[in-house]
Structure 1
Amino acid sequence: MNWLDISSTAFQAAFYLYCASFICYAIAVGGKRWSNRKPEDHNRRWGRFGFILAVAGWACHLTFFFTRWKGGGHIPTSNMYEFMTFLAMAIVFAFIIVHLIYRNNLLGAFAIPLVVIIIAYAAVFPSEVQPLIPALNNYWLKIHVTTAATGEAFFAVGFAAALVQLLRVIDFARTDKAGRREQKWVEFVLFFMVVIIGFLVSVFAFRGGGYEAKFQQEKVSIDQQGVQQSVTQTVEYGLPPIVAPYNSEKLSMQPYLGIKDPLFEAPSWMNGVNAGRKLNTVIWSLLSGAVLYGLLRLIARKPIAAVIHPHLSDIDPEDLDEISYRAIAIGFPIFTLGALIFAMIWAQIAWSRFWGWDPKEVWALITWLFYSAYLHLRLSRGWQGTRSAWLAVIGFIVVLFTLIGVNLVIAGLHSYAGV
């Protein structure tokens, strides 16, 4: 029996079921105006379909996880592809738990598309099973990664509820300075999500077209004895190189839009793994996202948030506020265990120290401190409603930077996750 083939099939089934679930939730949110049923009946019916499909997708996703574990010989959380697929599975699990508690159907309209985006992002990375490096071959790493990701999954559900709450309560008819500022910031969050989608569109479009470019990069470093060392490596691009790697020479490059050479070189201070290529990807993401956002604005003739707002009129914002808080309250102790305590135990085993101020460690601590402040302000200062929702949204953006952004610009012991 080929466990990896079964794993691949189950993963594809999970992705399609999640997409179908999102469609059902979208109909529940946006289709009630054209339904002959009462809005609450329409919402309940399509929301139920969406939840059933999400549960079925999660069952397939769970099958993917265990069959890949069986076929690969180790828990599938050792590289960026495996970690992001596990994070997506954990988010669905967190959504199911929160849904069973609060029975809010429309939360899936924002939580499930987040899962779809994360799975599509994972597909950008190589999906082959890779052998473990020595630092990863420890059962404490399994505990550390799975619990940290589960905590982040509950943060993601809190983010989804908070974003729906903001879209629900912000008055787009206001023209005063404070009102316009709120409108612009919530629109910026949606633009940020469109940029991620633009990244996926650009990557898969150029990958489908077979685009590639190659550079030879020389990296110079100085060891502890003060001896200068030089390493030459080949960097391959899947997107047209607007940015060349620092201190590199072009080996091959397919012209695009009449451009035959990169426009500029990546700065020397970007020391992450393949930093030039990743900066190039960020630029393409912004460009693609801006074009996609412009098309959506052209079609809608108004801000995206203003288009979504009328469809959320039946939702109680206080329920969303409670869901967001409870999801984060559940995720916080799990994240504390996984990202700090279990991580330090593994660090002691792998690197003979509990804490080393590695960039990923620092940002995990920043994430923990941020959500600590969120819970403190919520419980001690009475921060609820819009202020609490904004903190939940900002907190998840910090989580995303910790997961993805750190590898783009900073070198560290966790950089292997971006390979």
Structure 2
Amino acid sequence: MSWIDFSGDAFLVAFLLYCLSFIAYMIAVGGKRWSNRNPEGHTARWGKIAFVTAVVGWVAHLTFFTTRWIGSGHIPTSNMYEFMTFLTMAIMLAFIVVYFIYRNTLLGAFTMPLVIIIAAYASVFPSEVQPLIPALNSIWLRIHVTTAALGEAFFAVGFAAALIQLIRVVDFTSEEKAARRARRWTEISLVIIIMIVGFLVAVFAFRGAGYEAKFSQQVSVENDDGTSYTKTREVTYSLPPIVSPYKSEVVAVQSFLGMDEALFEAPSWMNGSNAGRKLNTVIWSIITGLIIYALMRLIARKPLIAVIHPHLTDIDAEDLEEISYRAIAIGFPIFTLGALIFAMIWAQIAWSRFWGWDPKEVWALVTWLFYSAYLHLRLSRGWQGTRSAWLAVIGFLVVMFTLVGVNLILSGLHSYAGV
């Protein structure tokens, strides 16, 4: 067995252990209501089992990272599959660090689903080892990407704690406008997460069914001397085409529910790499996510936050805010080093300039400015409670857009990350 094959098995073991850890956390949080004799002891026992399982999963994940590095000959952070698996491992490391500081079992119950979703998201991308392009063959790549991802990992833990806080403080007794608005937006936050799950369900379901659609697309290619020419390339979809690539023709489309052709064409301003296919995937994620949410609401017969809220009543909301703030405060200087300072050093070496207004660079700066504002408003302006929690939630959405959304709408020097 090669190192690459062994690394793939180690990642599968890590993923399964993360799932088991999440189940144990659910038992720790939800099962205490049925443990009449010693509910606190029940939570502590199952919380410990869940945490140990998560740590063992992280060790397996670290084994994946190390063996893939050995097998490929370069640090496995050069494409979306490798970066997302590293980000998952970094989030687990951030969670372990924060857990040892605060010992909060509930934090694991919300962090583990995020870890599982991102790990599953990584599995959507091709996992084959790809040769490094010259710009990526630098030690500064290793330093830049790993530190930026570690900073984002602490932002993810801060997001999880903030989301718990928002659900914890929801007021179901009041019908005032502010209370209804808080309930509505907190529920929408959960719907967005479910849409990400919907993306995974849709992709793996149609892949399992062997679905495929192909288009022939005209693309413009620019030469080094500034001249350009048009060439034809084939774009393959693994989901039924609601939207086709810009300036494309159908090669072959499998029929699905009578859908033999795309409903509309991707707009021209979406010039990111494979923008049409990605937009199609986003639409399917929304559709599938809404279907899953509707089924969950049908089963629960009430908003999802109303299902979760009773399990959080004995948690101090101020403690959750403190956890969120500390996680972001730890992640911010790490992100500053990785996403800005080390990134500019690498840009100077790779492209002979520190800053070039590339879309990824711009959105990394937007992310940094957002969290700078978060820290300023919380420390200097007294933005605490739900206001700081919402900033933590929105901030992580900005992070995810920087990682994924920029490749959909914009093109630039970081387009290789979407391959």
Q: TM-score normalized by structure 2?
A: 0.98
Partner of 2:306 in structure 1?
Answer: 306
Separation in 2, partners of 1:296, 1:408: 29
Partner of 2:21 in structure 1?
Answer: 21
**CA-to-partner distance for each residue in 1:59-105, whole Å, 9 max, x for gaps?**
00000000000011100000000000000000000000000001111
Question: Is the Cα contact below 8 Å between 2:218 and 2:230 reproduced in 1?
Answer: yes
Unaligned runs of 5+ in 1: none
- Give SS of 1:59's match: helix
Give the partner amino acid of 1:361: E
**CA-to-partner distance for each residue in 1:385-407, whole Å, 9 max, x for gaps?**
11111110000000000000000
User: Judging changes above 3 Å, is the alpha-carbon distance between structure 1 residues 122 and 224 closer, same or farther for their aligned structure 2 residues?
Assistant: closer
Separation in 1, partners of 2:222, 2:2: 46
1:172 Cα offset (Å): 2.0
Separation in 2, partners of 1:36, 1:5: 47
Separation in 2, partners of 1:363, 1:263: 31
Separation in 2, partners of 1:373, 1:405: 22
Question: Is the Cα contact below 8 Å between 2:240 and 2:259 reproduced in 1?
Answer: no
Partner of 1:378 in structure 2?
Answer: 378
**CA-to-partner distance for each residue in 1:18-59, whole Å, 9 max, x for gaps?**
000000111111111112343321211111111000100000
- Give SS of 1:288's match: helix
- Give SS of 1:114's match: helix
Give the partner amino acid of 2:202: S
Q: TM-score normalized by structure 1?
A: 0.98
Separation in 2, partners of 1:102, 1:383: 22
**CA-to-partner distance for each residue in 1:120-150, whole Å, 9 max, x for gaps?**
0000000011110111000000000000000
1:223 Cα offset (Å): 6.2
**CA-to-partner distance for each residue in 1:252-272, whole Å, 9 max, x for gaps?**
110110121111110011100
User: Judging changes above 3 Å, is the alpha-carbon distance between structure 1 residues 226 and 146 closer, same or farther for their aligned structure 2 residues?
Assistant: closer
Separation in 1, partners of 2:412, 2:228: 20
Partner of 2:246 in structure 1?
Answer: 246
Separation in 1, partners of 2:94, 2:396: 15
Runs of 4+ in structure 1 off by over 2 angstroms are 36-39, 220-228
Partner of 2:209 in structure 1?
Answer: 209
Answer with 48-57 or 220-229: which moved more: 220-229
- Give SS of 1:211's match: coil
Aligned positions of 1:123-138 closer than 5 A: 123-138=123-138
Aligned positions of 1:116-127 closer than 5 A: 116-127=116-127
Separation in 2, partners of 1:226, 1:100: 55
Give the partner amino acid of 2:77: T
Give the partner amino acid of 2:304: I
**CA-to-partner distance for each residue in 1:173-210, whole Å, 9 max, x for gaps?**
22111100000100010000000000000000000000
Unaligned runs of 5+ in 2: none
- Give SS of 2:322's match: helix
1:106 Cα offset (Å): 1.0
Separation in 2, partners of 1:3, 1:259: 43
Aligned length: 419
**CA-to-partner distance for each residue in 1:260-294, whole Å, 9 max, x for gaps?**
11111100111001000000000000000010000
Separation in 2, partners of 1:321, 1:103: 14
Alignment pair present for 1:364 and 2:377 = no
Separation in 1, partners of 2:413, 2:169: 43
**Aligned sequence identity (%):** 73
Alignment pair present for 1:195 and 2:195 = yes
1:6 Cα offset (Å): 1.5
Partner of 1:274 in structure 2?
Answer: 274
- Give SS of 2:124's match: coil
1:232 Cα offset (Å): 1.2
- Give SS of 2:154's match: helix
Separation in 1, partners of 2:224, 2:207: 41
- Give SS of 1:171's match: coil
Partner of 1:96 in structure 2?
Answer: 96
Q: Alpha carbon RMSD of aligned pairs, Å?
A: 1.1
Partner of 1:159 in structure 2?
Answer: 159
Give the partner amino acid of 2:35: S
- Give SS of 1:123's match: helix
- Give SS of 1:356's match: coil
